[in-house]
Amino acid sequence: MFGTLIGIFLTSTGIMIGADTVLWGSSAPHPSRIEKTCMSSQRSVAAFEGWYGERLSLHQQFQSVCKTLSRSRKPLSVDAQADLLIRKLFDKYREQGPLTTPAAALPAPENPHIAFVAVAGFDGTMPMVAVRELRWEKTRKGQWSVKTAPVGKLSFDGCGVRFLGDERVAALLLDTSGHFERDKQRPEVSRAIEANRLRAEDNCFLSAFSVDDAKVLYKLAVRATIDHAETFQMENGAVGGQLHLLTIPMDGPIHKAILDPEQYVE
């Protein structure tokens, strides 16, 4: 069950986290919408992507730990929240079976990735996101073992955009390929591309990419993923449903907006 598209946007006017809500590939007797985010503190939002566990056990663990974090009198840093969440998911995963198995007894996982946990928020005045992964790895002793680790290529601060989950189409909106040329000429998308460039150069103070731009870009990314899933060998219906857009402004409370499909699918 890996159908998800989460967007994390660090902008000049705050942080925006976008998540779809489709529950894909599940036989569990639950509604077709699932909450993939949680307000982990007054200044941070956590997101869960990946396998939700048998009968959604990992997803339920994520929500439970996130709510505990939100009630803490001493909020943890963004990094510490991500570390705690992934550790608790590891513990829950361990309850469901052995974490180390001889390679001969277990074929190579079709997808060694199990789940990402991302926490986006402000540490002081710095916007940042910390991403941790739960995954299978083959050890030197020839065993498959479940590990947790920081994900450097997805963790960043200052400004820019990252996508988690079924991001193959969304990533093309921000690269130098010839895909989606018309969309890349939109000012919101061009400012996002520029923000990623400035992040690489450590010049985020020059970024004009805003929360409003991020909302437009995320809707574009979801719509493009839905429209072109088959072309890029993705499962139809793996991404979509209501969209949850959570904004952490420079000052003030977190704001959550919900978009129904008719508001982003033309």
Structure confidence at residue 106 as a pLDDT band (50, 70, 90):
low
pLDDT one-digit tens code per residue, 52-88: 888 889 999 999 999 999 999 998 999 999 999 999 9
Q: What is the pLDDT of residue 266?
A: 67
Q: What is the pLDDT of residue 193?
A: 97
**266 lies in some domain:** no
How much of the chain exceeds pLDDT 90, in percent?
71
**231 lies in some domain:** yes
Q: Does the pLDDT of residue 141 top 90, yes or no?
A: no
Pick from 213, 193, 196: nearest CA to 204: 196
Indicate the SS3 state at residue 157: strand
Q: Does the pLDDT of residue 108 top 60, yes or no?
A: no
Structure confidence at residue 198 as a pLDDT band (50, 70, 90):
very high
DSSP 8-class letter at 46:
E
Domain ranges, residue 141: 5-261
State the Cα torsion 35-126-169-150 to the nearest 10°: -80
96 C-beta neighbours (distance < 10 Å), count? 11
Rounded Cα gap, residues 161 and 156, in angstroms: 9
74, 133, 143 from 139: Cα distances, Å: 38, 17, 5
Residue with tokens 């997803």: 59
Structure confidence at residue 172 as a pLDDT band (50, 70, 90):
very high
Q: Does the pLDDT of residue 14 top 80, yes or no?
A: yes
Residues in a beta bridge with 224: none
> Which range, of 8-22, 95-109, 110-124, 194-208, averages the lowest pLDDT?
95-109
Q: Does the pLDDT of residue 94 top 60, yes or no?
A: yes
Encoding tokens for residue 190?
């061009």
**12 lies in some domain:** yes
Counting the structural domains of the chain, the total is 1
**39 lies in some domain:** yes
Residue with tokens 């910390």: 130
**169 lies in some domain:** yes
Maximum alpha-carbon separation in the chain: 54
End-to-end CA distance of the chain: 27
**185 lies in some domain:** yes
Length reported for the chain? 266
Q: What is the pLDDT of residue 100?
A: 60
pLDDT one-digit tens code per residue, 115-133: 999 999 998 899 999 999 9
Rounded Cα gap, residues 11 and 27, in angstroms: 38
Pick from 133, 130, 140: nearest CA to 93: 133
Pick from 49, 45, 8, 61: nearest CA to 238: 49
The helix (run of H) or strand (run of E) holding residue 62 is helix 57-70
The number of helices, as runs of H, and strands, as runs of E, in the chain is 6, 12
Q: What is the pLDDT of residue 231?
A: 86
Rounded Cα gap, residues 20 and 6, in angstroms: 7
**111 lies in some domain:** yes
Encoding tokens for residue 101?
């198995």
CATH number at residue 227: 3.60.20.10
> Which range, of 44-48, 208-212, 233-237, averages the lowest pLDDT?
233-237
Rounded Cα gap, residues 98 and 162, in angstroms: 32
> What's the pTM value of the predicted model, to 2 decimals?
0.92
| pLDDT, mean over the chain | 90
13, 60, 83, 99, 241 from 31: Cα distances, Å: 35, 14, 29, 30, 11
Q: Does the pLDDT of residue 249 top 80, yes or no?
A: yes
Q: What is the pLDDT of residue 1?
A: 47
> Which range, of 19-28, 53-62, 63-72, 214-223, averages the lowest pLDDT?
19-28
